[in-house]
Amino acid sequence: MALLVFQDQHLLFSTKNSILVFRPKLSRSISPPLSLHHTRRNWNHSSESSPPSLCLRASKRGNMNSTKLTAEVGATTLMEFVGKEGEDVGGDLTILVSHLQYACKRIASIVASPIGVEISGGSGDDVGSSSSSAGRDVPKPLDIVSNDIILSSLKKSGKVAVMASEEDESPVWITDDGPFVVVTDPLDGSRNIDASIPTGTIFGVYNRLKELDVLNVEEKALLNSIQSGGRLIAAGYVLYSSATILCISFGSGTHAFTLDRSTGDFILTRPSLKIPARGQIYSVNDGRYFDWPDGLRKYIDTVKQGKGRSSKKYSSRYICSLVADFHRTLLYGGVTMNPRSHLRLVYEANPLSFLVEQAGGRGSDGQIRILSIQPSELHQRLPLFLGSSDDMAELESYDDIQQKINPGYQI
Ligand SMILES: O=P(O)(O)OC[C@H]1O[C@](O)(COP(=O)(O)O)[C@@H](O)[C@@H]1O
């Protein structure tokens, strides 16, 4: 048995065929056993020195539903979840997830920090600042800082052959023998950041295509990065909001974890999350109403009057931050959409479609299933519709829902 990594309060050991993840017990007060319905609101301030974590412990792979959870002291961390006793995703992917979640915690702390973009990495990995022509450090925008953080973590993982990011014109080749390809939008919704609106990181993971190894670096970097979403082996997002939520799927359900700031762990809070088959919310920038095609206008006019298939009057919610709008849709149901060709297939549409499908919903460009599209270019944009299966079926029945007019909007 060999020690692989000590990171983020976890020890990762390799044995012949597997990776073992250990989390040393922290010296905080042990909470009494809690019921499955225990929430932090039940915490009695007089009897505990710190609030107990949600006490959900997942059983073995295939049993990841809430009825199979047993309540016990402690909680299932993300790193435990991916290990032998949880989804057992394998050693390489465990190490990758460990680095990705660490990067996202760094981003979470920066976006919530008063010093924000002025933060300097100080770790020698060129995060947080760049030099001006006068030689002085100038702050980088937060989406570039986030990009640097993720790239730095992926490099350190040793598990990634290539990273393609919305922030980079071309994919970055990292190492020839990395088993994985990572695509990412490092900080989506960053146009809202000054107003402290929620933002998010989106990522997708593919296997490196070994048959491309013979190509030159540029070609293999690109072709590995534009794999069809149907080939994703994992995808997720991290929402930076009042809570920091990491939602992930390895192809057998979608699972949400909440960052426990007292321990620094992502704790499993919504195992096997299921999107309701129907919601009562539509989410779209309806300032664009007069640029929409007839079908989309009719759909929205119909559901907001309660004249759709469910006969319920729909409400509108639109944050204009994709991860936040998507996360709410996953929890409450309904549809979230951007009908113009704006969002990116590789970095946004594919990972989120993978997650919504794994939660029982659907992702489409208004005509075809997102995960069946073969990207033709890295930064390809398309209309995107994600949501509950019944709502998506109703919306798509209006046919004409893709916005063709795209005049370019100032805000
Ligand atoms: O301006 P629109 O069409 O409402 O688009 C808003 C969407 O664009 C995004 O801001 C992403 O756009 P960028 O990739 O240009 O940042 C999403 O977070 C949001 O859902």
Question: What are the chain's domains?
Answer: 91-270 (3.30.540.10), 281-396 (3.40.190.80)
pLDDT confidence band for 408 (50 / 70 / 90): confident
Q: Which two tokens stand for residue 139?
A: 């702050």
Q: Evaluate whether 370 touches 342 at the Cβ level (below 8 Å).
A: no
Work out the number of other CB atoms within 10 angstroms of the CB of residue 404: 12
Instruction: State mean pLDDT over 88-110.
Output: 97
Judged against a pLDDT cut of 90, whether residue 67 lies above it is answered with no
Cα separation of 50 and 240, whole Å? 23
User: Which residue type, as a one-letter code, is found at position 365?
Assistant: D
Judged against a pLDDT cut of 90, whether residue 18 lies above it is answered with no
Judged against a pLDDT cut of 80, whether residue 258 lies above it is answered with yes
CA of 321 to the centre of ligand 1 (A): 6
For residue 190, the model assigns a pLDDT of 87
Judged against a pLDDT cut of 70, whether residue 238 lies above it is answered with yes
* Residue from 338, 403, 409, 410 to probe ligand 1 pocket by mutation (most atoms less than 8 Å from CB): 338
Instruction: State mean pLDDT over 102-116.
Output: 89
For residue 24, the model assigns a pLDDT of 47
Find the distance separating the first CA and the last CA of the chain, reported in whole Å.
55
pLDDT confidence band for 127 (50 / 70 / 90): low
For residue 395, the model assigns a pLDDT of 98
389 three-state secondary structure: helix
For 353-382, the pLDDT digits (tens) are: 999 999 999 999 999 999 999 999 999 999
* Residue from 327, 343, 346, 386 to probe ligand 1 pocket by mutation (most atoms less than 8 Å from CB): 343
How does the average pLDDT of the chain come out, rounded?
A: 84
pLDDT confidence band for 398 (50 / 70 / 90): very high
Range scoring the smallest mean pLDDT among 24-33, 173-182, 184-193, 365-374: 24-33
3-state helix, strand, coil in the chain (%, to 5): 30, 25, 45
Q: Evaluate whether 82 touches 76 at the Cβ level (below 8 Å).
A: no
For residue 129, the model assigns a pLDDT of 52
Work out the number of other CB atoms within 10 angstroms of the CB of residue 397: 11
What percent of the chain is modeled with pLDDT above 70?
76
Closest CA to 147 of 130, 128, 119: 128
Range scoring the smallest mean pLDDT among 177-181, 324-328, 331-335, 406-410: 406-410
Judged against a pLDDT cut of 60, whether residue 301 lies above it is answered with yes
Q: Which one has a higher pLDDT value, 34 or 233?
A: 233
For residue 138, the model assigns a pLDDT of 58
For residue 280, the model assigns a pLDDT of 98
Work out the number of other CB atoms within 10 angstroms of the CB of residue 156: 16
CA of 204 to the centre of ligand 1 (A): 19
Closest CA to 20 of 67, 84, 66, 64: 84
Catalytic residue annotation: 137, 143, 166-167, 185, 187-188, 348
For residue 193, the model assigns a pLDDT of 85
Q: Is 249 exposed, middle or buried (0-12, 13-18, 19+ CB in 10 A)?
A: buried
Diameter of the chain measured on Cα atoms = 65
CB 201 less than 6 A from any atom of ligand 1: no
ipTM, two decimals: 0.96
The helix/strand count (H/E) of the chain reads as: 8, 20
For residue 6, the model assigns a pLDDT of 44
Kindly give the number of the ligand 1 atom that is closest to the alpha carbon of 411.
Answer: 1
CA of 411 to the centre of ligand 1 (A): 9
- Give the global pTM: 0.83
Judged against a pLDDT cut of 60, whether residue 130 lies above it is answered with no
pLDDT confidence band for 69 (50 / 70 / 90): very low
Q: Can you give the length of the chain in residues?
A: 411
